[in-house]
A and B are shown apart, each in its own frame.
Chain A
Amino acid sequence: MLIEVADLKLSIHANPVLNGVRLTMQEGEIYGLLGPNGAGKSTTLSVLTGLRAADSGKVNVLGLAPMQQKRELHGKLGVLAEDSGFYGWMSAHGYLHWMARLYGRELSAVEMARRLEQVGLNAANRQAIKTYSRGMKQRLGLARALLNDPQLLILDEPTNGLDPRGRREIHDVLLELSREHGVGILLCTHLLDDVDRLCSRIGIINQGKTLLEGVLAELLADKTGANRYRLRVAASSATSGTLPQGVKLLAQEGGWLHLDIAPGVHPDAAWRELFALGWGITEIRSEGGGLEELYLNITETEVVA
């Protein structure tokens, strides 16, 4: 297990900031940590990275106790903290070289070029960092977090300040790291689109407490009934017969077919099978039950309660 946190509690200046956070994360997983501003996400990350000691609870990261085994942990961990700064007078090239040496690594020219290329900074690598845009600094921050080839990557708002193309590129880097290198990624973000696209598991915290944690698809199914869609099909196409497993026809009205996709069944797979059955699908629309609804439901319910 990469991260194991149970009943984490922490007060700062007598104010309870964390009051029962739980989080479990397996190897190769991309985990989305969600919550409104001030929910305790960043403080949780501080505890996980050994920057702050918890008052009570169990905290285990990569099999290590963050406060007691800080140095060992930091050697295996890559972190992109929110609003983390750089030495503006250095170039990206010089900065990464210097940081790599702090991890005891000497980067060859080829290796450096690869790392800069990975985050799309090769062209500007000799410029002073103070001339970089926010998006470029985010990319450099990601390159810094990857310097020690970490087993676990903790990213706080990694796509902040990036344009849609930049976000997509960072998504691709993270997916590659997770799929091809088995790197676990803990993503702390308020961008639900990032979570939707990247994460297999999520945890939602509010007021310092984990309200919900689990596999994203299962949570969506459990908390919103299922994934519901409405499909428009060509009039000539056949829509009768046996439906693929996990797909249930709920209703048919005004040229729309209302379907329910069971948890665990990927919608893309269901559409392929329906096409194969001769369904002339011309339009697909999601009918709620998405992450945003789940997030709003959970956080609002808790606030009202």
Chain B
Amino acid sequence: MNPIILIASKESGELLGSGRGLGWLLALSVILSVLALLLVSNTELSLLDNAQVVYMVMGTITALGGLLALVLGSDAIAGEKERGTLIPLLLTPLTTTQMVLGKMGGQVVAWVLMYALSLPYLWAVGSSGQNLVQAIAYLALFGTPVVLGFGFYAIGLSARFGNVRTALLAALITLMLLASPLLIGPSLRQSTLGKLFDMVNPFSAALNTFDSVVIDSQPFSMQLGRFSVTLIWLALTLWFARRSAQAMEI
């Protein structure tokens, strides 16, 4: 069997078998449920267009997916090192690339589960509105590279720091930074610096695409630039994870 699949199967088995991963899925479903209930019960939110609600749910899922990827990625190498299971892995005829990709396999499973979990919520809030099918497709298309990129990035940090807490802290700071245009409000986002940051920020790229496709019904041809940003992010983080794992010291 391919070693990448072997590592990935171990990772996903650990995720689903240990209760930790199931706990994450439960937490995610609770967050989405709270959001959905707010949409029904809150006067202002309940007036939002279906499309706007779908956009909000898509953004929440992408952010939570990124967060889960960061947590799993930070533990991927440093956690194994701390638990003493890394050396036996490194002493097998496995290459570092195979190990990184295998570790990523576990995160792919986690993201697929999260994605599957989000579908009933998207249906519930958006089935009577516009562009639900597009929303489902674009969440997969743009959410996947963004979320997996966060995973690779955290794996790289995990290999570099060799310590779960430090890696997680650094990863979370990055997530906050990338999400900052959304937090700092529209006025700063409209500044030159804000626009520039928005242009290269994969998280913004995904959210702006969700906005463009779901709310404004714009075609894929208008999303190509932003799609490239997410793919470049994925490629760069993969490179970072590989380099960090290769330079890792025991």
Interface residues, chain A, with chain B CB atoms under 8 Å away: 46, 49, 51-52, 71-72, 74-75, 77, 79, 81, 83-87, 89, 98-99, 101-104, 144
Contact = CB atoms under 8 A, between A and B. Distances in A.
B6 A102 contact: yes
Given A87-B14, A98-B6, A102-B92, A52 B84 contact: no
B116 to A, nearest CB: 24
A84 B90 CA distance: 12
Given A81-B91, A83-B84, A85-B85, 20 more contacts: A46-B250, A49-B91, A51-B250, A72-B93, A74-B91, A74-B94, A79-B88, A84-B88, A85-B84, A85-B88, A86-B88, A87-B14, A87-B85, A89-B13, A98-B10, A99-B88, A102-B89, A103-B92, A103-B93, A144-B88
A66 B89 CA distance: 16
B184 interface: no
Contacts of B92: 74, 99, 102-103
Interface in B9-37: 10, 13-14, 17-18
Q: Which secondary structure dominates chain B's binding surface? A: loop
A77 B250 contact: no
Of residues B3, B85, B91, B92, which shows the largest number of chain A Cβ atoms within 10 Å of its Cβ?
Answer: B91
Interface string B74-98: 0000000001110111111111000
A81 B87 contact: yes
Contact of A102 (B14, B85, B93): B93
B93 A74 contact: yes
B82 to A, nearest CB: 9
Q: Which 9 residue pairs spanning A and B have beta carbons closest together?
A: A85-B84, A85-B85, A102-B92, A75-B93, A71-B93, A51-B250, A74-B93, A85-B83, A81-B87
A67 to B, nearest CB: 11
A77 B17 contact: no
A52 B88 contact: no
B173 interface: no
Contact of B250 (A52, A89, A104): A52
A84 B14 contact: no
Contacts of A46: 250
Contacts of A83: 84
Contacts of B85: 84-87
B93 A87 contact: no
28 contacts: A46-B250, A51-B91, A51-B250, A52-B249, A52-B250, A71-B93, A71-B94, A72-B93, A75-B93, A77-B91, A79-B87, A81-B84, A81-B88, A81-B91, A84-B84, A84-B85, A84-B88, A85-B85, A86-B85, A87-B85, A89-B13, A89-B17, A99-B92, A102-B3, A102-B6, A102-B89, A102-B93, A103-B93
A72 B91 CA distance: 11
Contacts of A104: 93
A89 B1 contact: no
Contacts of A75: 93
A101 B94 CA distance: 11
Interface residues of B, number: 22
Of residues B85, B88, B250, which shows the largest number of chain A Cβ atoms within 10 Å of its Cβ?
Answer: B88
A177 to B, nearest CB: 18
Contact of A101 (B1, B18, B90, B249): B1
A90 to B, nearest CB: 8
Contacts of B13: 89
Contacts of A101: 1, 6
Contacts of A84: 84-85, 87-88
Contacts of A86: 85, 88
A120 to B, nearest CB: 20
Nearest to B87: A81
B10 A87 contact: yes
Contacts of B1: 101
B87 A51 contact: yes
A52 B85 CA distance: 17
B94 to A, nearest CB: 6
B130 to A, nearest CB: 45
A52 B6 CA distance: 25
A81 B89 CA distance: 11
Given A46-B250, A52-B250, A87-B10, A79 B93 contact: no
Contacts of B94: 71, 74, 102
A159 to B, nearest CB: 18
A81 B92 CA distance: 13
Contacts of B249: 52
Contacts of A77: 91
A86 B87 CA distance: 10
Nearest to B88: A84
B147 to A, nearest CB: 25
Interface in B196-250: 249-250
Nearest to B96: A70
A239 to B, nearest CB: 56
A104 B3 CA distance: 8
Nearest to B86: A85
Nearest to B3: A102
